Structure 1
Amino acid sequence: MAEMDLAAKPVLVALVLATLVMLEMLAPMFRFYDAVKPRLRHDAANILLGVLNAAIASVLFTGLVLSVTTWAVGHSFGLLNWLTLNPYLELLIALLLFDCWQYCWHRLNHAIPFLWRFHAVHHSDAAMDASSALRFHSVEIIFSSALRLLVLPIIGLSVEQLLIYELIALPIILIHHSNVAVPATLDRLLRVIIVTPHVHWVHHSHLQNETDSNYASVLSIWDRVFASFCLRDDPQKIRFGLGDRFDQTRWDQFIGQLKQPFNSALYEQRESSLKK
């Protein structure tokens, strides 16, 4: 099963991404480009970074994840391995706990200046679309994957449960980053349960109080529980990115994305506000 799910992940991402790109062309919520070429350059850089990160995670961490989850099951270590539950209830609890961890990790990336430098690569995209869901700095991916090696055995998550979570989460994350004009009524219904475009667009606003909200990856409940939920009455007026300091032609390029965290001048204002 694990091997099949591992093979399914890139196929699923490619199919969902291709579908969303077509929908973005047919019914965009925002118009960032007047020509096809700039859009292609933007998406190509984001996708290339996503491919690099997938390769890093696969080479460095796939075997380690399998090892720690197998060890936890074999030694009856971790919350889920201490409980005797119906398999379906256990899966539900596993998905809830891991999604809550994703919320906590995301929020830490906004609160700790050192982590924010790398996470800001994701937020500096001023032309947000489905490809933006793949735009994460490789150092952030390494930190996130390394911490998983501690979190997974503490929860007692099996590798199958982790893969099920990822197969559910990946399409939702791609969708809520997409530049598709989702009907307001449909978005309102869906966001009772999951993170939707109208919710996540606010998270990518250039205004810091809005950037520091809506951290959830899959279930919108976490932002409601931890009082970080925020909506805009006029989502079509949201300005994406991190402001004028991030020159898009430079920092949107693949190499620019990798270099961005090491340019201290870009982060002075944000880091001073985080330290207060």
Structure 2
Amino acid sequence: MNKYIEIFKNSYSDYWNYIKQSVLFELNWENYFYGLILISLLVWGLEAVFPWRKNQSLFRKDFWLDTFYMFFNFFLLNLLVLIALSNAAAEVFNDILGVVGLSIANFQVLELNTLPFALRIFIFFIVIDFVQWCTHRLLHSYEFLWNFHKVHHSVKEMGFAAHLRYHWMEPVVYNSLKYIPLAIIGGFTAQDVAVVHFFNITIGHLNHANINWDYGWLKYILNNPKMHIWHHAKVLPEERKQGVNFGITLSIWDYLFKTNYIPYSGRDIEIGFEGDEQFPKGFVKQELYPFGKRD
């Protein structure tokens, strides 16, 4: 037990120091704090220059709520929950394997740091994106998980910051399902993580932005605003009720697994979900919603 207490203490201490170093410009390429701010400002600027819904304000509905979600989920949530929980869960998993004389190294089929940089990044990115696509489908397939995911789908006007409006349980689910695949392809570096992270954040912001883009032929590879708006559509055909266009960064999985759906321009469609009129409007009530009683 003392080992796990120490893991929690060190996790909080290390992450708090990381946050301070980020804010004080003591980090370079791995500075996620200012990286997020820079990407957000750039995509917000694109919304101003290339608006898809021209009557939508730059300070759209729930702009400030989503901005709060963005910083809470990317920084405070990690400080409060995820870093310590992830480190402890990894140690528990390793301890369980140790009981039967194994370690995570026994499952490792590929050592990424032996590969050229470009190939290493590509494999790391593809594995993460596919696991996230599968996880996203799960969030839409089971009522228990859907009640957490409703927070993200409660957005009523799309803009870049809507990307990071999500319940704190979502990254718990995503990170849990990513752990074993990433352990199997061990050897990636902090720089690898940062490169993939910043690319994913950029595409995720663009997917949710009020921008008139679909990237031409690249739309069959990369998720984009004109595709992702349909993922948020309030009304879908009966046979598509569990969702469409589950791509996180890549759209190719949806085309491969026939979950793609763009029947026409979705510029002016209503977004949300059935019954969202009764969904809580504020941060605290939205966070508590999945744990409450529902008829």
Which of the five TM-score ranges fits, normalised by the shorter chain? 0.7 to 0.9
Pick from 106, 114, 120 the counterpart of residue 90 of structure 1: 120
RMSD: 3.3
Cα 1:27–1:263 shift into 2, 3 Å: farther
Provide the rounded CA distance (Å) in 2 between the counterparts of 1:206 and 1:122: 13
Aligned to 2:67: 47
Query: Match of 1:256, as an amino acid?
Result: K
Aligned to 2:110: 80
Aligned to 1:239: 270
Are 1:197 and 2:225 matched, yes or no? Answer: yes
Provide the rounded CA distance (Å) in 2 between the counterparts of 1:90 and 1:34: 41
Are 1:172 and 2:203 matched, yes or no? Answer: yes
Provide the rounded CA distance (Å) in 2 between the counterparts of 1:262 and 1:128: 26
TM-score, normalising length from structure 1? Answer: 0.78
Higher relative contact order (CA 8 A, sep 6+): 1
Identical positions, percent: 24
1:136-215 mapped onto 2 (5 Å cutoff) = 136-156=166-186, 158-160=188-190, 161-182=192-213, 187-208=215-236, 209=240, 212-215=243-246
Asked whether the equivalents of residues 5 and 163 of structure 1 are also in contact (C-alpha less than 8 Å), the reply is: yes
Query: Match of 2:161, as an amino acid?
Result: S
Query: Match of 2:42, as an amino acid?
Result: T
Higher Cα radius of gyration: 2
Provide the rounded CA distance (Å) in 2 between the counterparts of 1:34 and 1:168: 26
Aligned to 1:21: 44
* Offset, 1:242: 1.0
* Offset, 1:33: 5.5
Query: Match of 1:195, as an amino acid?
Result: N
TM-score, normalising length from structure 2? Answer: 0.73
Asked whether the equivalents of residues 40 and 160 of structure 2 are also in contact (C-alpha less than 8 Å), the reply is: yes
Provide the rounded CA distance (Å) in 1 between the counterparts of 2:58 and 2:121: 46
Paired residue total: 254
Cα 1:89–1:101 shift into 2, 3 Å: same
Asked whether the equivalents of residues 215 and 228 of structure 1 are also in contact (C-alpha less than 8 Å), the reply is: yes
Provide the rounded CA distance (Å) in 2 between the counterparts of 1:19 and 1:222: 27
SS at the partner of 2:215? Answer: helix
Higher helix proportion (structure 1 or 2): 1
* Offset, 1:178: 0.4
User: Over residues 206-261 of structure 1, what are the superposed CA-to-partner deviations in whole Å (9 max), with x where a residue is unaligned?
Assistant: 12427611111112111111111111322223211114x2238x633222321332
